[in-house]
Structure 1
Amino acid sequence: MSAREPVRIGLIGAGRISEAYAEAIAGAPGVELVAVADLQAEAAAALAHRFGCRAHSSHRSLLAEAGCEAVVICTPPVTHEALAIDALEQSVAVLCEKPLAIDSSAAQRMLDAATAAGMPFTMGSKFRYVEDVEKARGFLEAGRIGEVVLFEIAFAGAVDMSRRWNSDPDIAGGGVLIDNGTHAVDLIRHLAGPVSEVQACEGRRVQGLEVEDTAQLFVKTENGVVGHVDLSWSLDKRQAYFLEIYGTEGLIRVGWQASFLERGGEEAERFGRGYDKVGAFRSQLEDFSSALRTGSELRISAQDALSSVQVIEAAYRSLRERRWQDVATPRS
C-alpha cells in the first residue's frame, strides 16, 4: 500500500464509543472506515449505514471479507484479548480501547501476539491525545514550573451504571477504578514517568452496584512525584480542571474548557481551549495510521498499555489488602 492511501479501518463493536470513533475517522486524514461488526446485527447495520460502509455480524466476518488493514476494538474489556489476537494473527493492526484487558496476563498475551505478527498495537486512551495535555508536557520538559511535586486528577461525574456492562465485574474487570482510572494512570505515566507504588480506597456504593462506583487512587512515580486521583460514577465533582500539576515554581491546570499556566506572582497564561474529544480521537487515529504506514513510533506503545493494566491491577490488590502496593515491572 502507498503511504498516501488511506488506512482501511474496521470497527469491532457498534456502541457509543464506536460512534465517536466513526465520527473521528470521517474527519481525519489518512483513514477510511470500511466496515463495522457487532453481534447485534441491527446495531452494526445502523452505524454502517450512517457512515456509508459495510456491516458484519461478527468480527471474523469483518476480518475475512472487509479487507481491513486495521481495526479499532470497542467492545467490553473481557472480549479484548480474543478479538485482538484474532486480528493480529491475520496481520491486522489493532487499536484497542481502554482498559486494554482485565488483567496483566491477558494483556501480555496480546502484546506477545502483536510482537509475533510484527503489527502496530496500541491502547485507546484519548486524554493523552488532548492538545492541551501535549502542551502541558512541553511545559514540563522545558522546566516552566520547576521540579514537579504533585499531580491531582478528577474524573467524577454522575452516570447511572446500573444497566450497563461496565458495572458487571465479570465483563468489565471492576468498576470506576478500571474504567476512569485507566485514563488517569495513563496521564500520570505520560507526564511523570512510570508508577512505582499505588494505594486505592473505595467510597460508599451509592448505586448499589457489584463494583466500586467511587474511589480514590494515590500514586508515587519512580521519580518521586506523588499523585491523587478522584474517580466516581455517582458524584458530580464540578471542577473546571481535570488535571492539575504542581511544581516548585508554578502549576499547570488543564481544563474542560480552558487551560492555564501559573508561575509565582505572574498573571496566569491561558494556553488552550481545554478538552476536545473529537480532536483527541482524530489525533490518536493519525498516530495509529502513521505507525502502520510509515513505521513511526506510537505515542502509546504496547508496553505503555501493559503498564497501565499493571498499575490498575496493583490498585485492586490495594483495595483488597488495604495497603500500598508495588507495581509490577513490565517484562522487557
Structure 2
Amino acid sequence: MSAPVQSRGARPRLGFLGVGWIGRHRMRALISSETVEVAAIADTAPENAAAAGALVPQARQVATLDELLALDLDGVVIATPSAGHAEQAIRILDRGVAVFCQKPLAISALETKQVVAAARRANRALSVDFSYRFTDGMQKIHQLVRSGELGEIYAADLVFHNAYGPDKAWFFDRQLSGGGCLMDLGSHLVDLALWLFDFPHVCSVTSALYSKGVQLHRVAGAVEDFAVASYRLASGQLVRVACSWNLPAGRDAVIEASFYGTAGGASFRNVEGSFYDFAAERFRGTSREPLAAPPDDWGGRAAIAWAREIADGGGFNPRAERLVDVAQALEAAYRQAREPGLHGKPA
C-alpha cells in the first residue's frame, strides 16, 4: 500500500543532498519561487555546505543521507556524483519522500527501472533535471510540432559541444559516471528529441564514440569525449545526436536542436557560444522568424515544476516512466559503439 501524498497547498519541506554549484543553483531557484521551505542540507565538502548554508541560514546542516531521512521532509534534491544517484533515490523514495535528481538518474537502464518502480511503489513524485525542455524556445517548438504546423517531422539534428571538460575526476571513471560526454551532455539531447515526439519506440541505433580521437572500443578504461548517435524512431523520424567535451569549436559551446518537417522547420540555438542564452526560430523555406530570445531564466524551472507537483498533493506521475526510455536509448548507443558490428536496439 503506497503512502499518502502530501496535503494540497502546503509548502514542501526539502532537503538537499549535494550542494555544489548545480545543487546551489537549483536551491536558489526554488527559494525564489517561494514554493518550498529548504529545511536541511547535506554535503561531504565543508565549503559546499557553508556556501549553501549562507543562502538558507535557517536550514539544518547534516552530514549524511541517513540524517536527512531522519527529518520530516517532503522531498530531496540530489546533486551528487552519478554512481550514487540510483541507490540514494531508492532509499529516499522507500522512506516516502519525493525525489528530484540531477541527470543521469542512474548509470544503467536496469537501475533506472528500479528507481521508477520505487517511486511508483511509494506513490511519490520523481523527476530528473532535464532542464532544456523548460526553456522558452523549446516550449515554443514543442507547441509547433504538436500543433502540426510544421507538417510531418521527419528529421531532427541535436548538438551539444562543450569546449571544456568536466572539472571533477569522477566524470572520467566509467564506474562512477556511467559514461562520458554522451551520458553527461547527450542525455539532454536524447531526452529533448524523445519528449518532442512523445516518446515513440526506438527501432534502431547506430553510434560512434571516441576518446581523444580513437574509437572508444579500442581504448581500455576510457570514457568518450566525442559521440554521435543516430536513432530511427517508430513514428518515422531520424534523430541525430552529437556531443563532445574539449572540442575546438571556436567558442565556449555549440548547443542546437533543429527539427525539419514537410511544412517547415524550427531551431533552438545558443547565442554566441553561451551556455545560458538561447534563441529559437521557425523556418519557412529560406525565410525565418523569431520564436524566442534571451533573457530567459530557465535553469530552475524543472525543479520548480517538481516542487509544485508535491505542493499540489500529487503523487507518482506516470510521466516518470519515460525516464526509462531515455536510459534505454543511451544504453543502446553505448552497446552499439562497443560492438560496432551490432545492430543497436534498446533493451
TM-score normalised over the length of structure 2 = 0.86
Matches for 1:223-242 after TM superposition, within 5 Å: 223-237=235-249, 238=251, 242=256
Query: How many equivalent residue pairs?
Result: 324
Distance in 2, Cα, partners of 1:78 & 1:129: 26
1:72 paired residue number: 77
The DSSP-based 3-state class of the residue aligned with 1:279 is coil
The answer for unaligned runs of 5 or more in structure 2 is 1-5, 271-277
Distance in 1, Cα, partners of 2:66 & 2:28: 24
The Cα shift of 1:121 comes to: 1.2
The answer for unaligned runs of 5 or more in structure 1 is none
The Cα shift of 1:241 comes to: 5.5
CA deviations over 1:180-201 (Å, ceiling 9, x no partner):
1110110011112323321110
Sort the Cα spacing of 1:54 and 1:99 in 2 relative to 1 into closer, same or farther, 3 A: same
Residue 59 of structure 1 pairs with residue 78 of structure 2: no
The Cα shift of 1:46 comes to: 2.6
Give yes or no for contact 1:132–1:272 (8 Å, CA) kept in 2.
yes
- Root-mean-square deviation (CA, aligned residues, Å) is 2.4
Give yes or no for contact 1:9–1:33 (8 Å, CA) kept in 2.
yes
1:94 paired residue number: 99
The Cα shift of 1:275 comes to: 8.0
Residue 200 of structure 1 pairs with residue 207 of structure 2: yes
2:260 to 236, 240, 246: 246
1:319 paired residue number: 337
Matches for 1:233-312 after TM superposition, within 5 Å: 233-237=245-249, 238=251, 242-256=256-270, 257-264=278-285, 267-273=287-293, 276=296, 278-281=297-300, 283-295=301-313, 301-312=319-330
Distance in 1, Cα, partners of 2:167 & 2:206: 26
Sort the Cα spacing of 1:300 and 1:315 in 2 relative to 1 into closer, same or farther, 3 A: farther
TM-score normalised over the length of structure 1 = 0.90
The Cα shift of 1:71 comes to: 0.7
Sort the Cα spacing of 1:213 and 1:255 in 2 relative to 1 into closer, same or farther, 3 A: same
Matches for 1:75-154 after TM superposition, within 5 Å: 75-154=80-159
Higher relative contact order (CA 8 A, sep 6+): 2
The Cα shift of 1:22 comes to: 1.3
Distance in 1, Cα, partners of 2:112 & 2:338: 22
Which is worse superposed, 238-247 or 86-95?
Answer: 238-247
Which is worse superposed, 163-172 or 222-231?
Answer: 163-172
Distance in 1, Cα, partners of 2:280 & 2:228: 24
Give yes or no for contact 1:157–1:233 (8 Å, CA) kept in 2.
yes
Give yes or no for contact 1:37–1:55 (8 Å, CA) kept in 2.
yes
The DSSP-based 3-state class of the residue aligned with 1:27 is helix
Give yes or no for contact 2:9–2:312 (8 Å, CA) kept in 1.
no
Distance in 1, Cα, partners of 2:167 & 2:26: 25
The Cα shift of 1:300 comes to: 8.4
